[in-house]
Amino acid sequence: MIIYLRVLKESFNFALNALTNNKLRTFLSLLGVTIGIFSFIAVLAAVDSLKSEIKGTISGLDNSTIYLGNFSFGPTEIPRWKWEQFPVTTYEEYQYLKKSMPELEAISYTLNVGNETIKFEDKSVENVNIGAITHEYYDIEDLQLEEGRFFNELESSNGNHVIVLGYEIANSLFNSPQRAMGKTVRLYGQKFTVIGVLKKEGFALGDSKDTAVYLSVNIIRKMFGTNNRNLFPFIILKPDSEIDNAEFIAMLKQKMRLKRGLKAEEIDNFFVNQLQGFSDAIDNIMGTMNVIGMIISLFSLLVGGFGIANIMFVSVKERTNLIGIQKSLGAKRKFILYQFLFEAMILAIIGGIIGLFLVFVISIIASQFTGDFEFVLSGWNMFLGTAIAAIIGLISGILPAIKASKLDPVEAIRTGM
């Protein structure tokens, strides 16, 4: 065992000396691997970062959360012309389900209205996302408050003119969330009293609760009508954690069919969308992006591998005389083999580490310019990059190393003279 360790150590030292003595060649070899590993890990880091941001935006919602509406979030076998005729979910159906659905943790009715301008005295913020919801939405999405409170059931039912502001909206209008409390803002030409400000969330994919405001859905219903298809009404349900989701969905469909008076032979004229399906779809998309990105990056790694192999063959040719002398003095084939394998692997690993370092530096710089979007370079990706670099070096160096180890000492000395 000690002999093998000594052979490995001497082989490693020989490889290191060869690399330091040929700096230009070493640099050119490193360049190919560095670019390859950089491309490979940069793709993985970008996809991981994107996935993290998307998952962060829906993290407040439980995977069991259900969206009941007149269109599907994903592909459906029902023809478009048919589902476009489905009736929208109504406020009355929300009230009915709230009373009749067992094992229901929370239920909310929402309307999707266009962005608006909100004003306070001479200040205004444009393109504000309006959340028209019932009070239960606070529990479903687990909203966090910086100041004040959320509107209660009575305020929600009566359509009281109270409003909860996103963090950035409060900052823009009042310079701080604390100053916003109790103030009156104008929206839709009407006055609203600020009763709460949400905690800062940050942006993900251009969207954030920081630039949103929340008010009672009944205010919007009075303004735009109760069954307006253009407002894309949805009923959001959160089952108890104890209940099986499949059973809950089956019960929900039964209740809706009964409410809408559907006959046994008629299909459901509504869609039950589950957040878990959306989350799974994100995982599938990100997985596909990872695979495509890795395939493209592998071409860069392939070029780097060929570069190392080419340099190693040149190195064997240049050191033919030295190999002959080593073998004539008793060096075994393993010693020669390890010597060139180590040289190739050291080249590849150093190139890989430089590539990882570049990704790390660029991710830090990019994060500074993209605000709240944070680029992620995980420990697993760093390990993967180093391991792939070592494998590339091993594969690239194996043929030159075998060729060197099989050289006849007499012929090698004669050829090298």
Interior angle at CA 8, CA 3 and CA 11, nearest 5: 125
Q: Mean pLDDT across the stretch 315-327?
A: 72
Task: Please report, in angstroms and rounded to a whole number, the separation of the first and last CA atoms in the chain.
Answer: 36
| pLDDT tens-digit map of 261-308 | 999 888 999 999 886 656 666 667 767 777 777 777 777 777 777 777
When comparing pLDDT for 62 and 356, which is higher? 356
Q: Mean pLDDT across the stretch 184-195?
A: 93
When comparing pLDDT for 42 and 269, which is higher? 269
Q: Mean pLDDT across the stretch 22-26?
A: 70
When comparing pLDDT for 206 and 308, which is higher? 308
pLDDT computed for residue 261 by the predictor: 92
Residues 6+ apart with CB under 8 A from 119: 125, 185, 186, 187
Whole-number percent of the chain with pLDDT over 90: 24
pLDDT computed for residue 251 by the predictor: 92
Supply the mean pLDDT for the chain: 80
pLDDT computed for residue 225 by the predictor: 78
List 237's β-bridge partners, or say none: 66, 107
pLDDT computed for residue 53 by the predictor: 65
* SS3 sequence of the chain: CHHHHHHHHHHHHHHHHHHHHCHHHHHHHHHHHHHHHHHHHHHHHHHHHHHHHHHHHCCCCCCCCEEEECCCCCCCCCCHHHHCCCCCCCHHHHHHHHHHCCCEEEEEEEEECCCEEEEECCEEEEEEEEEEECCCHHHHCCCCEEEECCCCHHHHHHCCCEEEECHHHHHHHHCCHHHHCCCEEEECCEEEEEEEEECCCCCECCECHHHEEEEEHHHHHHHHCCCCHHHCCEEEEEECCCCCHHHHHHHHHHHHHHHHCCCCCCCCCCEEEEHHHHHHHHHHHHHHHHHHHHHHHHHHHHHHHHHHHHHHHHHHHHCHHHHHHHHHCCCCHHHHHHHHHHHHHHHHHHHHHHHHHHHHHHHHHHHHHCCCCCCCCCHHHHHHHHHHHHHHHHHHHHHHHHHHHCCCHHHHHHHHC
Q: Mean pLDDT across the stretch 356-371?
A: 76
Q: Mean pLDDT across the stretch 323-327?
A: 72
Contact 30, 354 (CB under 8 A): yes
| pLDDT tens-digit map of 86-113 | 999 999 999 999 999 888 889 999 998 8
Most confident of the ranges 63-72, 116-125, 360-369: 116-125
Tell whether the model's pLDDT for residue 211 goes beyond 60: yes
When comparing pLDDT for 219 and 365, which is higher? 219
| pLDDT tens-digit map of 240-263 | 878 888 888 899 999 999 999 999
pLDDT computed for residue 157 by the predictor: 92
Indicate whether this model's pTM tops 0.85: no
pLDDT computed for residue 372 by the predictor: 56
pLDDT computed for residue 165 by the predictor: 94
pLDDT computed for residue 296 by the predictor: 73
Identify the residue whose tokens are 């395939």: 295
Q: Mean pLDDT across the stretch 214-221?
A: 93
Pairing of strands 162-165, 145-148: unpaired
Cα 224 to the center of its chain, rounded Å: 37
Rg (CA), the chain: 32
Say how many C-beta atoms besides its own lie within 10 A of residue 28's C-beta: 14
Tell whether the model's pLDDT for residue 34 goes beyond 90: no
When comparing pLDDT for 126 and 315, which is higher? 126
